[in-house]
């Protein structure tokens, strides 16, 4: 089953249950190691400490407070590219082989982070509608795009389908 | 000479978009060969240009496969847009309504 179909079913079930998917996203805290998860439901097993059924609902301010002493930033071109490589390594796509273009894109997302507050794709443009614009953060959900279906790549060509 | 507003051929591009970078010499050559004037408007560092692009959002989004993207070419005269990494001189000519 493709990710698109899975996502469609997931959305349809959410609406059938009278839920608005975005409204239902909440913070969850692992009561063992204080891992924070943001989503409709928590992971069954905590990815950090491995304890099952460890998550409890947590409010926004408490969650942000827990994370406030974490000073971790992806704010250099090398950091961004490493994050992309790590993301691609676990999937059926790879990073574009033209290093100069990848570096340009990484500088673009950092520029957008500085100017717009989020790492938007430099080959898209924001609309001013927050919900729509959140879909433009790189990496986006590129497998739903026409360019992925036709050419096996995301809109900006950063992620390319691996040849088997 | 500037083309009258409302009749312009516009290229919306992003400074950090690698496909836009690669297209610059193609567009330059096209303009030199055909004597057609295309106005270049950068959209990530100029909010006025971004707003203009959003104004033509329906046509451009459709050409870009659903969302606003760059490189995007829009004709104020015909309302026609083309978009994406695979634009070449032939596609530009068809869009601009001239011989390549």
Percent of residues, chain A, with pLDDT higher than 70: 86
What is the DSSP pairing of strand B9-13 with strand B39-42? parallel
Q: Could you read off the pLDDT of B73-100 as tens digits, one per residue?
A: 999 999 999 999 999 999 999 999 987 6
The residues with which B43 forms a beta bridge, in sequence order, are: none
CB atoms A125 and B45 under 8 Å:
no
Distances (CA, A) of A2 to A28, A40, A139: 28, 21, 18
CB A157 within 8 A of CB A150: no
- Which chain A residue has the Cα nearest residue B50? A125
CB atoms A147 and B65 under 8 Å:
yes
- Which chain A residue has the Cα nearest residue B66? A145
Q: Could you read off the pLDDT of A43-102 as tens digits, one per residue?
A: 999 999 999 999 999 999 999 999 988 888 899 999 999 999 999 999 999 999 999 999
From the list B17, B57, B65, which residue is nearest A108 (CB)? Answer: B17
Sign of the alpha-carbon dihedral angle for A73, A78, A82, A84: positive
The answer on pLDDT for A8 being more than 80 is: no
This model of the complex carries an ipTM of 0.87
Distance between CA atoms of residues A86 and A93, nearest Å = 11
- Beta-carbon contacts of residue A41 (< 8 Å; ≥ 6 apart): A28
Q: Could you read off the pLDDT of B18-38 as tens digits, one per residue?
A: 999 999 999 999 999 999 999
């Amino acid at each position: 089953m493709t990710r698109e179909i899975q996502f469609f079913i997931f959305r349809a079930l959410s609406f059938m249950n009278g839920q608005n998917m975005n409204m239902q996203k909440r913070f969850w805290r692992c009561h063992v190691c204080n891992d924070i998860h943001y989503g409709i439901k928590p992971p069954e097993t905590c990815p950090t400490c491995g304890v099952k059924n460890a998550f409890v609902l947590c409010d926004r301010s408490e969650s942000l407070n827990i994370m406030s002493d974490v000073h971790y930033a992806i704010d250099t071109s090398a950091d961004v590219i490493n994050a992309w490589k790590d993301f691609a390594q676990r999937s059926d796509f790879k990073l574009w082989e033209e290093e100069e273009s990848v570096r340009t894109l990484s500088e673009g997302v950092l520029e957008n982070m500085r100017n717009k507050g989020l790492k938007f794709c430099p080959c898209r443009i924001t609309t001013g509608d927050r919900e729509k614009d959140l879909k433009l953060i790189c990496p986006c959900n590129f497998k739903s795009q026409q360019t992925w279906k036709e050419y096996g790549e995301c809109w900006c060509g950063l992620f390319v389908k691996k040849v088997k | 000479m500037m083309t009258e507003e409302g009749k312009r051929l516009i290229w919306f591009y992003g400074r950090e978009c690698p496909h836009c970078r690669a297209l610059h010499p193609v567009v330059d050559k096209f303009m030199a060969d055909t004597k057609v004037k295309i106005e270049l408007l950068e959209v990530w560092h100029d909010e006025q240009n971004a707003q203009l692009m959003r104004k033509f959002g329906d046509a451009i989004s459709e050409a870009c496969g659903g969302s606003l993207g760059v490189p995007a070419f829009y004709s104020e005269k015909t309302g026609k847009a083309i978009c994406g990494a695979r634009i070449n001189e032939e596609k530009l000519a068809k869009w601009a309504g001239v011989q390549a």
